[in-house]
Structure 1
Amino acid sequence: MLKSYWKALLLVITLIFSCLSFAGVSEWVDFELKNGHIKIPVKLSGIDTYALLDTGAQGNSINPNFVRKHGLQFTKGQRFRVTGVFGEEMRRAYNNVPTTIFGADLELDDLIPVNLGGTETGLLIGSGFFSRFIVQFDYPNQRMRIVTRDVLRLGDIENIKVESQRGSGEPLVRVSFGEDSDPFWVLLDTGSNGGLLIERSLARKHNLLEKITSSSMSSGVNSTAITENLRVEELIFGPFTLENVLVSVPAEGESANLVDQNRLTGSRIKSRKQEGILGYDVLKHFVLTLDYRAGHAHISLPE
């Protein structure tokens, strides 16, 4: 099923970017930014909805709230272990889901039920989309395009340290709280609408807990938890230094899977230690060019 699904998704990607020129660069395609999430219009079972594009997700998901609202029924598939920031559980996927993406009619398999907030967003598209090409997100201008690897060697021009996480392939990026501060690795997540969420132990190491000014409820794919918020004077992100950046940490006693949330169950493959998640509140300033599969990235300011 997975093999047939990826063939179908590759067809969709080809149709979406059929305007690829001989230079191997597509035209810009507009996307919508809603609450810090990148979304594109799609149809599920003929019903208009949105798909969220998420570099931090290994698989693809369907919103059970959307399914219930419209009284939809799909073929049940295999069970998957879903590990999110605030919990882990087993869920049974849906198969043969009628989907229209950029005019292409498909039936998608292995869509895992994940709460995407409300009913407006019906679908989440993860790593399969991003691993096929080099993808460029222009956040300020709300547009994206793809580039083929034969015309752009992103590793030759990368200006930020990124590695593909072993096992999941998801992008980890190295950041720090200043020139004299030890760097650490976080998940680069286009599906996160926050700033920087880090392990409480990391915040303690950098003496940040005394800077906490507020608390709030944060939601993961499985549950919600209390996080505490603070601002750091500097965050070094590639060649750029951002000031007064929002940072969140799980409250005392809360459990958060920020270190190994993307580890494959039973896998002994080791990777960089992931100590947080970097999201929209940082990315919103930049044009991000990402080779998801190879682990290369470049960031710049928009033209």
Structure 2
Amino acid sequence: MNVLAHRIQSSSIMERILLCVCCFSGWLTSTCLPCQYHYVADAKTWTAAQSYCRQTHTDLATVENSDEVKQLNSTASSAANSSKVWIGLYSQISWKWSDGFTGSGADYRNWDTSEHEPDFYSGVQFCVSSSEGKWWDYDCSVKLKFICYTGTQRNPEFHLVDKNMSWSDAQKYCRENFLDLATVTNHGENQQVQEKAQKEMAWIGLHRDPNIYWSDGSKHSFTNWAIQRQAVKMTVKLENSSVDLNDPAVKAYLLEKLKEQLKAGGLDGVTVKWREQPDGKVFDGHRKRE
């Protein structure tokens, strides 16, 4: 990755802090100079980029408004850069279970690595859903069916609730009618959840807090995430084996049905398209990913 370094026009971090304090207190405002972004062409990891920027400039880039977004983009464009670059925004990731379980098996995960999960796409995916036993981080506001449990944390009995709710509403429902959203601590329990959910994508109890920060300690409030894109897994069962799922008319019909399902789940006004395989086809057998 390339790097964008960020600094105030001053010779040291101490001067930068002093000038900011002057600006905020109304003193010597004429001495407060705008920030500058500096494009660094060396490919580095985020941690190495942070270290480099702190040693050479002030820190990785902080972006606090739309004007600074334009300035950052202009800096990258003027350097003839078309690849992705690091900035100073980061998140401390700490997954936890809804019921607070921290014992043996609390760190069990079964992410869908074939889809690069968890991918935290668009910066809004703080809750976890299970689909055919594979886990995805997902937007907590999306309405899905969900898995609750009764019994004990060590000997749970899982229950599919056939209602579409956001993660927080599902959590509340489980706590009022069962014990909590499902805590899954091993492969056997994950298989039980899979059997209960069948082909449905369903909430489980794993989630995390945002914990989003800027490298230089600035408060995180402004956001400019890319438009959210989410893969949706879909299984098609054919009653007529002669139907060609890759026929354009069939694919168009299925897309409309998928849009209806997404709308029912709280996702209205979305753009849906098929993900093609290397051979140009969408469907391989009776299973595909959208």
TM range (shorter): under 0.3
| Bigger share in strand | 1
Bigger relative CO (Cα 8 Å, ≥ 6 apart): 1
Which has more radius of gyration? Answer: 2
| Bigger share in helix | 2
